[in-house]
Amino acid sequence: MGAAHDGGYYLVGLRRRAPALFRGIEWSTARVLDQTLERAAKTGVSTALLPALDDLDTPADLLRWIAGRAGGGGPHGPRALDRALRAIGLLPPG
């Protein structure tokens, strides 16, 4: 699970379906990650955490990410998102 700085997560990887993992979560709160980890423990789903990063929840988050990428960015920009943003003109060709 990729922990996000805002208390949520940017990635969940599962070997099998686990719908119970996502039930009863207070979405859009700073407790999303903690609650999901608690549900995982209760339902027997093993977890591992990836480094904390920012996630993209709002248009403002996306614009901040784009600005960061234009200024040198970081090592964590997904190539598929880069391609999509370039295709619609939100990132310069590269």
- Tell me which residue of 73, 42, 62, 53 sits closest to 7, measured CA to CA: 53
Q: How many domains does the chain have?
A: 2
64 — alpha (psi -120 to 50), left (phi > 0) or beta?
Answer: alpha
The predicted pLDDT at position 22 comes to 96
Same domain flag for 44 and 63: no
Same domain flag for 65 and 35: no
**pLDDT per residue as tens, the chain (94 positions):** 999 999 999 999 999 999 999 999 999 999 999 999 999 999 999 999 999 998 888 888 888 877 776 655 455 556 777 777 788 888 788 7
Same domain flag for 43 and 1: yes
- Tell if the pTM clears 0.85, that is, is over it: no
Same domain flag for 1 and 47: yes
Distance (Å, whole) CA 82 – CA 7:
25
The predicted pLDDT at position 59 comes to 82
The predicted pLDDT at position 18 comes to 96
Distance (Å, whole) CA 31 – CA 24:
12
Same domain flag for 87 and 74: yes
Q: Are 45 and 18 in contact (CB under 8 A)?
A: yes
The predicted pLDDT at position 50 comes to 96
Same domain flag for 42 and 69: no
- What range defines the domain where residue 60 resides? 56-94
